[in-house]
Each structure stands twice: as C-alpha cells, then as structure tokens.
C-alpha cells in the first residue's frame, strides 16, 4: 500500500532501505529518540524481512515527493473501537524541522480516520519522551493532546525520564486539519 501526503509518500519498506536505517540508528543525535540502536546491516535486513511479514502492523518508509527516503513510520491498527497507534522517525537530519514528519503523520491520520474509520489514534510505545520537545510541539500543532505523564519510565543519558502519552480524536484532527486533508480527496 502507498499513501500520498502533501510533501511525503508512505510506501512499503525495501531491502535497499536497510543501509540508510543502519546509518541513522548509528547516529546518536537520531537514535536518542529511537527504540533500536546500533544495528548491523544483517540485523536491519532481518528486521525488514520480519516487518514485511507482520500482519499486525504496517511498516512504511517515508519518502519525499521526489523519492528521497528520509525515515520510517510504523502503524499499528488495532480495531475500530480501540483505534490505532503509530511511531515515526525522520532519520535524515537534513529534513528535520521542515514539515515532513508532520505531513507523514497527517497522511497516516487521514488513512486512519477516513479509510479505517477509527475514532482515535495514539502514539506507540506509551508516548513521546519528555526530552523531545520538537516532537511534542509537532504533535500538539497537529492536534494531539497530552493524556498524562508516565513518570520515570525510561532511562536515558544517566537518569530516569518521563514519557508523555498523547492521542488525537478524529473530531480534533478534522477540526485542526480538515481544510488541508478534506474528505473529498481520494486516498491513494
């Protein structure tokens, strides 16, 4: 499946993506927000093989409209009444802060709310790390709401850190983003 946003394309993973993932996960500035660190090329290829077979989640590469691979998005559809969750990483730092992550998120939200008819979507992995203010601002700008605080749930950089659960309801997303991603546009 391929989903098209304004700035990004979410497409299936390819084995040719593996070297970029390895490079990104070896970069401390990138992997401080990732759950996987320092993987080998063989390990990453095996991860991609397994991800492609996994029927409980959808793994996407994030490409720019010109076909540059810049990151990944994992989507976990559960069921209509329970909603879905997702995790995102823009591994190519040249694309940080330029709206590509927000566009990819809005693209998966459009699919979630319009195609799958989910009521809400939440962040995977219990939420966002408290030491990632750029991501928190991006989620809030899209319309995500903080749902609380998971205190000292993650050990990073020598101390325990908090995780902030966040989610968005279909009505909140539509109110915030409806003009950009309207119901009249056909899903890819």
Catalytic positions, written as ranges: 139
CA distances to 50, 123, 157, 159, 160 from 86, in Å: 18, 5, 25, 26, 24
Six-digit token string for 15: 């084995």
Question: What gap in Å lies between CA 171 and CA 188, rounded to an integer?
Answer: 22
Residue written as token pair 């056909």: 186
Question: What gap in Å lies between CA 44 and CA 46, rounded to an integer?
Answer: 5
At 34 the three-state DSSP class reads coil
C-alpha atoms less than 13 angstroms from C-alpha of 109 in its C-beta half-sphere? 30
87 DSSP β-pair partners: 74
DSSP state of 158: T
């Amino acid at each position: 499946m391929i989903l098209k946003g304004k700035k990004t394309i979410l497409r299936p993973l390819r084995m040719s993506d593996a070297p970029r993932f390895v490079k990104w996960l070896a970069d401390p500035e990138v992997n401080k927000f990732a759950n996987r660190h320092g993987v080998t090329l063989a390990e990453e290829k095996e991860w991609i093989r397994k991800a492609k077979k996994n029927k409980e989640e959808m793994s996407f590469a994030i490409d720019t409209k010109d076909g540059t691979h810049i990151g990944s998005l994992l989507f976990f559809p559960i069921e209509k009444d329970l909603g879905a969750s997702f995790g995102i990483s823009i591994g190519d730092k040249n694309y940080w802060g330029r709206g590509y992550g927000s566009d990819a998120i809005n693209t998966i939200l459009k699919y979630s709310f319009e195609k799958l008819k989910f009521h809400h979507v939440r962040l995977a992995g219990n939420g966002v790390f408290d030491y990632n203010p750029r991501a928190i601002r991006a989620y809030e700008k899209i319309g995500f709401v903080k749902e609380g605080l998971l205190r000292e749930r993650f050990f990073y950089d020598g101390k325990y850190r908090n995780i902030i659960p966040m989610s968005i309801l279909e009505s909140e997303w539509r109110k915030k983003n409806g003009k950009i991603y309207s119901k009249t546009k056909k899903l890819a």
